[in-house]
Structure 1
Amino acid sequence: MLAAMSAIRIGNCSGFYGDRFGAVREMLTGGPLDVLTGDYLAELTMLILGRDRMKDPRRGYAKTFLRQMEDGLGLALDRGVKIVANAGGLNPAGLADALRELTAGLGLTARIAHVEGDDLIGRVDELGLGKPLTANAYLGAWGIAECLKAGADVVVTGRVTDASVVVGPAAAHFGWGPADYDQLAGAVVAGHVIECGAQATGGNYAFFAEHDIRHPGFPIAEINADGSSVITKHPGTGGAVTVGTVTAQLLYEIGSARYAGPDVTARFDTVSLSQEDVDRVRISGVRGEAPPPTLKVSLNTLGGFRNEMVFVLTGLDIEAKAELVKEQMTEAFAARPPAEVRWTLARTDHPDAAVQEEASAFLRCAVKDSDQKVAGRAFSSAAVEIALASYPGFHVTAPPGDASPFGLFTPGYVDAKLVEQLTVVDGVRTVIPPAPEVRELEPVPAPPLPEPLSGPTRNVPLGLVAGARSGDKGGDANVGVWVRTEAAWRWLANTLTVDEFRLLLPETADLPVTRHVLPNLFALNFVVSGLLGDGVAAQARFDPQAKAVGEWLRSRHMDIPEALL
């Protein structure tokens, strides 16, 4: 009977807090949908919302979503489209109340439900989670599913996994149960593909020049009763949906082939992709396993204060000029130096440049301290005071400013049975039971490698044959690398080892690097532990979310077989 049910068509309108505002209207008017989802939460977003809540306990949710609903809720109701979003952040009940007020003010009738229970801030001592500003467990899809089955038109949640806003509607539509692991895993994979919006339709794509991505459409997952799906987009919208764009998103911010969640562990080494038609990619074959016994917890703390100055070094003697500034600044705050001082010299200068900017390099000094004054005016004033007594051509990219607070993200883990997920529909609160079966995560055995590809080579950029996408998980970075032919896979799998990866990216030379092999996707995934320090909120690195590490890797030269070129 389930096999005969029609596919559920789930679209996405947001990949982060601040994504394209008009996407809600675009998705609701661009073609048929059953459900419209939005992902508004990230590690950094939870810190931002935590600071909002400190100022006003009634806040703590994504205000953008509320403004989008002012324009889009009536459209959704007219078209029979359910809306599911994690925009509730730290205050899903508050967002639900605000939506009810909005609905009444617009003269509409809608059932607004919310899911809560993820917020553990009141139990951090009991659970041994330290003294964070925010503490939120990653909940799963069953609360969303129950709200939809109870007739909700809009469901807002706090911290659920990104894919849960897709898995919940699919589970409700098809009547899946907690033990339908393969179906759930298939929906998790579909959810992972569309959760970041236009990244599945050509945005941030390594081979971007192959498609018109000036205004890519947002993705849609047509999910079937067996968990298989087709990724597509509304007709006439920009961008593209190809095996390549879907592969790129599958590799985004993952670790091993076991992709663990609160409801199911999806096996990414079983994912099969095929181009069914133009802008239609089929995902099939996904296998699932029981989820792990613990839930991940997002913990954010205020780490202190940070500041930075960027000195412009122009023309000759760049290295000597940089050393002079370092010595002068070190002497200036010798009496009370900041707790952390990081210098970075970016050699963007070119010899004999016809444009001044092309003759300039940038010396960045970033500082952190628990004392706002030390990281603030004491630091920036020191930079100003040497302005007429330093290297020739002294200037900076921005005026000195006060220090700003920074945060620290750390993952925690708690027994899933200790977290109570609740749904609230029409004032009725219902407890969602934890997973009836769990399974400890185990390493996936390394698959056999294909026969190496031999022949004459040329030393050229890796990106001529390989795509990449990179991202962050706390202080770690992942770099997914894939190729598009079996011959290229024979070369990549045998050549891009951990040692070679470290040689190509010297920043990783002294860090733990783990390689995961995904032959089904012609892909490798490298996880670099500690590359991002304390995570994006701490701003420890030039590219704090590792968004462009993959492109850096693609720009490095390797000896690539001529047969692939």
Structure 2
Amino acid sequence: MTGPLRIANASGFYGDRADAVREMLHGGPVDVLTGDYLAELTMLLLGRDRMKDPSRGYARTFLRQMEENLATAVDKGVRIVTNAGGLNPSGLADALRELAGRLGLPVRVAHVEGDDLLPRAAALGLPGGALAANAYLGGEGIAACLRAGADVVVTGRVTDAALVTGPAAAHFGWAADDRDRLAGAVVAGHVLECGTQATGGNYAFFERHDVRRPGFPLAELHADGSSVITKHPGTGGAVTVGTVTAQLLYETDSPRYAGPDVTARLDTVRLSQDGPDRVRIDGVRGEAPPPTLKVGLNRLGGWRNEVVFVLTGLGVEAKAALVREQTEAALAARRPAEVRWTLARTDHPDAAAEEEASALLRLVVRDEDPEAVGRAVTGAAVELGLASYPGFHLTAPPGKAAPYGVFEAAFVDAAAVEHTAVLPDGRRLRIGPAPAGRPLADPPEPPLPEPLPPGPVRRAPLGLVAGARSGDKGGSANVGVWTETEDAWRWLAHTLTPALLRELLPETARLPVTRHLLPNLRAVNFRIDGLLGDGVASQARFDPQAKALGEWLRSRRLDIPEALL
């Protein structure tokens, strides 16, 4: 097969735009339609779902989407590949067969399993007490299902890029050692996985494009592993080198982007504009994958509660000190294990609106005992209603204690994971691990570009000369920062060091910060360990997934050469 394979995306997360499946099926030619429904938090939610009902544990919205659109996919010959199976891919596959029978559609459904390691956690040396323990599988099980004639392939926890590497390997006949080709598909898959983030959604320079309703992306994959990222004609948003760069930097770390199929070298990626709303990706090099698979472990961490006090007008610091002292005294008899106060100075002097004159004092408490963060905390806050600072009120009535989750990553020998393709005829095909290389290590840091010559500087926000995108990986956050010109890149590479990042973002001052240079993308990528505590479900900070961390960084002021401004 030498023609391009058109792989489209219709979901970037569980809860994404419901009519995207219809839009992608009707908007233009598509060969394979993918949907990504899983994230670290989603696996915890599905785990709690499965506890209530063992027949659940999959993304039920996908089933509703198929009820409306499966006939169209069959009519157009579009194959569907999705990880909506979550913790119960066989259950979703059965539900799809029942749906196809009810609709009178000749649909061959297959699924991929073996990622669920919870029953074998102890034998594999994984920590106990998890609600979910899932290995990140590669795309070879998907490829096996498609080679066997499946029209719909449902998986559990696979890497996001596997939704693209699997169909590409099946279509082009790639072998496990076609590493550069597989790496190209991994990069295309990473661009597609978050849906409209590749077409202008959440984009640093959003004012340049009409992003009120961005279209979903698709990739035209070629047999050599190169691709073109585009979208259906007439849809909103934009596909530019900038939008694709932003998504490439999202939730990545080292230039060695490891996966179960291949390790893709992000420092070899080349991007070029290939026409309106078309970005070409080529030059990607691949290496052998590491010998281990990542395992996502989700468990309940305890109980949490939150109260937000509103402090209005004068004396904000004194008001905060008073209510904090009063609340701490009320909690002294049974102090929660963790008590955290944060004062957000959202107030403005001489404000014309009351809300603009108000600051927010947030109290977050955690404990293993729900009583310690339940009525004890809400009672302490409510009882101060007539006995504290002037203007006392809360943003909302205090609630009950709520459980919070903890995410932890572990690694197991890839050969110990029973990756299995369950074909449309029911046959079970064991998928062996890809030939592995050595344990992963960061590549040598590339040389810095020539610095800009000295010249006048002006204090200005970083965002005037650089874009950024940030996100979460367990308890770590990543911030990718890129520039659009070579001169700006020369300045950025020499200026935005881990030390300066800690200065600009004081929350990171005492945390390990790692920087990687990506000269082909004119980008630097930072990993900040520990910023997000035990992951998004633990809600360790105001922005628990670090989604806006990059925008905070762009708003910070530093000395920038006037020539760049």
SS at match of 1:127: coil
CA RMSD of aligned residues (A): 0.6
Match of 1:255 in 2: 253
Amino acid at match of 1:464: L
Which position in structure 1 is the counterpart of 2:35?
Answer: 38
1:76 aligns with 2:73: yes
Q: Distance in 1 between matches of 2:3 and 2:478?
A: 36
Aligned to 2:358: 360
Q: What is residue 435 of structure 2 aligned with on the other side?
A: 436
Out of 131, 135, 148, the position equivalent to 2:146 is 148
Q: Which one of 178, 181, 184 corresponds to residue 186 of structure 1?
A: 184
The residue correspondences of 1:113-132 to structure 2 (distance < 5 A) are: 113-131=110-128, 132=130
Q: 1:457-496 counterparts in 2 under 5 A?
A: 457-496=457-496
Which aligned runs of 4 or more in structure 1 are off by greater than 3 angstroms? Answer: none
The structural deviation recorded for 1:434 is 1.2
Q: In structure 1, the residue corresponding to 2:355 is in which secondary structure? A: helix
Partner of 1:232: 230
* Between 526-535 and 433-442, the greater mean CA deviation after superposition: 433-442
Q: Per the alignment, in what secondary structure is the counterpart of residue 162 of structure 1?
A: coil
What do the CA deviations read for 1:476-512 (whole angstroms, capped 9, x no partner)?
0000000000010110000111111111001111000
CA distance in 1 between counterparts of 2:498 and 2:540 reads 24
TM-superposed CA distance for 1:30, in Å, is 0.3
Instruction: Give 1:80-99 correspondences, 5 Å limit.
Output: 80-99=77-96
Matched residue of 1:45: which SS? Answer: helix
How far the C-alpha of 1:95 sits from its partner, in A, is 0.3
Q: Partner of 2:320: helix, strand, or coil?
A: helix
- Aligned equivalent of 1:500: 500
Instruction: Give the aligned partner of residue 388 of structure 1.
Output: 386
User: SS at 2:123's partner residue?
Assistant: helix
| Distance across 1 between alignment mates of 2:97 and 2:185 | 30
Match of 2:557 in 1: 557
Per the normalisation by structure 2, the TM-score is 0.99
Residue 293 of structure 1 pairs with residue 294 of structure 2 = no
Q: Deviations over 1:364-401 (max 9, x none)?
A: 10111111111111111110011110000000011121
Question: What secondary structure is seen at the aligned counterpart in 2 of 1:126?
Answer: coil
Deviations 1:88-132 (A, max 9, x none): 000000000011111111121100100000000001110111111
Which AA in structure 1 matches 2:563? A
- Counterparts of 1:309 and 1:443 in 2: how far apart (Å)? 43
Contact 2:289 2:435 in 1 (8 A): no
One-letter amino acid matched to 2:51: M
Matched letter for residue 427 of structure 2? V
Q: CA deviation at 1:534?
A: 0.8
- What is the aligned-residue identity percentage? 74
Counterpart residue identity of residue 489, structure 2: W
In 1, the alpha carbon distance for the partners of 2:388 and 2:39 equals: 42
AA partner of residue 319 (structure 1): E
Partner SS for 1:19: coil
Q: Which position in structure 2 is the counterpart of 1:109?
A: 106
- Summarize the alignment of residues 167-246 of structure 1 with structure 2, pairs less than 5 Å apart: 167-246=165-244
Q: Which residue of 2 aligns with 1:17?
A: 14
- Corresponding residue for 1:372? 370
Q: Within 1, Cα distance between the matches of 2:485 and 2:61?
A: 42
Deviation per CA, 1:147-168: give whole Å up to 9, x if none.
Answer: 0010000000000000000110
In the other structure, the counterpart of 1:527 is: 527
Contact 2:111 2:422 in 1 (8 A): yes
1:333-389 deviation digits (Å, cap 9, x = unpaired) = 101111111111110000000000000000010111111111111111110011110
Mapped partners of 2:432, 2:510: distance in 1: 44
Report the CA distance between 1:518 and its aligned residue: 0.3
For 2:394 and 2:57, locate their aligned partners in 1 and report how far apart those are by CA, in whole Å: 36
The one-letter amino acid paired with 2:450 is: E
The equivalent residue for 2:547 is 547
Contact 2:365 2:373 in 1 (8 A): yes
- Give 1:439 shift: 2.7
CA shift at 1:436, angstroms? 2.4
List runs of 5+ in structure 1 lacking aligned partners.
Answer: none
**1:52-71 paired onto structure 2 within 5 Å:** 52-71=49-68
Q: Give the partner amino acid of 1:77.
A: V
